[in-house]
Structure 1
């Protein structure tokens, strides 16, 4: 497989985005007189300094930090945590996505395309038809279980995940169809309920099924979460409304995450992804334990047992995806071994491929 020269970067696009955003933000706080509201919510800005770094350097959106801080630490409603996740990620994850595209980083193009299509349908449907019927406690538990199990996966399999190179070469039409299904289901369920999650789903498919390099999987997950965050907050603003406290927290945190998430994209290339993944994985498991302890009186023994079983079910699902990926890789290798001698040159091509999506 020939190696193409690295495409020219276009970082001026990202700097233009930053200029436009900070112009609007300064207009809000200086001209419209909203600085006191931003200053009042400074703790969220401090918290999102960490959350935005995680958003750019891992497959976990900034809402992964913002949600538990608002809901568990500040004792705010789960609905506020979900709406804030959409709002703050629409800046932080979008900024990171623009930075990734401007740098022309490799992406899983076919899977990303399918996920964009699927989530465009699934997320609005979930906001209208699923989220309104989910009790606040369930929102907390969905978030805690999904991200807790995701953290356990990385504590268990991080060496294997970090060792992948390139991406298993499946048929791109298969990748796209898989992305459509994953985007629709995750958008209609976990994202519409908690404000995060599609990045985790796409990332998990990439690293467990497609055996994708983290340098491909994480940027791809950042871009799909950025898209869903913008779609989610616009849908809620236009049709269902958002929680009243979202704007003040957003006003404080937005200028931080606009730089913090792209900084995560850049810094992780210098220090490596494994240490960051391990730290965030510990935080994910920690918030799971914290949620179960905090809500044990409401959950009771039955609720605690069901929550643990839900975590085990997620881990079982992860292992099935991993096994499925191993089968697919084996089939591809067997097909290559069966190629006739005349195609020996083709046979020597590696079964991995990075796909680049041009910005």
Structure 2
């Protein structure tokens, strides 16, 4: 009897281990040359092989960490950043999680920073936006370096075309769209749009074992135009919330073009890092009106972001795509609850509900179009496969 019980327990433990390995240790999706380097690694590797091939992912984390901390510590000692921790300690604590989640998911650290600062700390949206952009220029860029150095697979065309649209979109948004909205309206719009996106992503992932691609299939002019236009819209969202280009591109490449979250997530991290640098430059240099609070929040949070964002990118690159999607659901649910607990006016609640419903319909249509595109591609591939097998 005891042997049977122990056998059942052993089987149960095996199932748990298999489940855990499937969802949390699925492995990285690397570029072809990186895979070839690992498979051809000699039995007695050289120091170079160990450093830049076998243990590449750990070196990838160390590079941005050491560079940024060297600059930060020398600056912090010279200008005494430490005196600001007494009043601005909240964001280093929050961004320990925020930067980690930002590097791991399609939503940058700004998706945590903006709602926390506006809904919980009641900071002005402009201060929260600038801080989010500035911090992501450090955290998401650190994750970018980590991803590129690890040679994790990304959709480079989405990065290039998304950025080409986001730059003018950000400039248009910062000068035209942002001044038209009040602080509460910005909070409502941020929460409503991302809640609708989370719903659409959950709906898509309810389809068990749906086929996905590692790159945008049959890339052509109209698909590039869609990415460019999406970049413009995402840049406008960035201009008032400090976050948007990443989720906008993520939604299009996953829902419409059916790219796997395993590829789409690091793609949006790289995209966000590039655009955060531009946003930081434009606000701090070209406009020159970044608030003092944003600078001080930024100064005390840099060490946290430069470590936890690439750590999130490293760990997230091993997760199953459904785990990455689940993290998005949790993040959006927490943001929605935070918004409701702040007691918004009934007008904002009505507007937010309408936007969520419209967003759900839009993303649902986008997902259906993606399904039709995928069926169209597969219907053309099947005859060629049949002819090849007949030959």
- Superposed CA deviations along residues 196-235 of structure 1, whole A, max 9, x for unmatched, are 0111111111111111112210011111111121111111
* Inter-partner Cα distance in structure 2 for 1:59 and 1:340: 35
Task: Provide the residue aligned with 1:357 in structure 2.
Answer: none
Q: Return the TM-score normalized by structure 1.
A: 0.86
Alignment of 1:163-202 (within 5 A): 164-167=211-214, 169-187=217-235, 189-202=236-249
CA contact (8 A) 1:83 1:233 kept: yes
* Inter-partner Cα distance in structure 1 for 2:385 and 2:327: 48
Moved more, 194-203 or 154-163: 154-163
Structure 1: which 5+ residue stretches go unaligned? 349-359
- What is the CA distance between 1:337 and its match in structure 2? 3.9
CA contact (8 A) 2:102 2:312 kept: yes
1:336 to 2:364 alignment: no
Alignment of 1:114-263 (within 5 A): 114-160=161-207, 164-167=211-214, 169-187=217-235, 189-240=236-287, 241-263=289-311
CA contact (8 A) 1:211 1:325 kept: yes
* Inter-partner Cα distance in structure 2 for 1:112 and 1:138: 29
User: Relative to 1, partners in 2 of residues 1:329 and 1:20: Cα closer, same or farther, differing over 3 Å?
Assistant: same
* Inter-partner Cα distance in structure 2 for 1:143 and 1:56: 20
* Inter-partner Cα distance in structure 1 for 2:77 and 2:209: 45
* Inter-partner Cα distance in structure 2 for 1:6 and 1:199: 25
Q: Return the TM-score normalized by structure 2.
A: 0.79
Structure 2: which 5+ residue stretches go unaligned? 1-30, 38-52
- What is the CA distance between 1:271 and its match in structure 2? 4.8
* Inter-partner Cα distance in structure 1 for 2:92 and 2:66: 20
Select the residue among 18, 21, 26 that pairs with 2:73: 26
Alignment of 1:297-312 (within 5 A): 299-300=345-346, 302-312=347-357
Task: Provide the residue aligned with 2:122 in structure 1.
Answer: 75
- What is the CA distance between 1:164 and its match in structure 2? 4.6
SS, match of residue 373 in structure 2: helix
Q: Indicate the RMSD between aligned Cα atoms, in angstroms.
A: 2.6
* Inter-partner Cα distance in structure 2 for 1:330 and 1:295: 45
- What is the CA distance between 1:49 and its match in structure 2? 0.7
SS, match of residue 211 in structure 1: coil
* Inter-partner Cα distance in structure 1 for 2:204 and 2:140: 26
* Inter-partner Cα distance in structure 1 for 2:334 and 2:373: 34
Over 6 Å off, 4+ runs: none
User: Relative to 1, partners in 2 of residues 1:226 and 1:319: Cα closer, same or farther, differing over 3 Å?
Assistant: same
* Inter-partner Cα distance in structure 2 for 1:230 and 1:309: 34
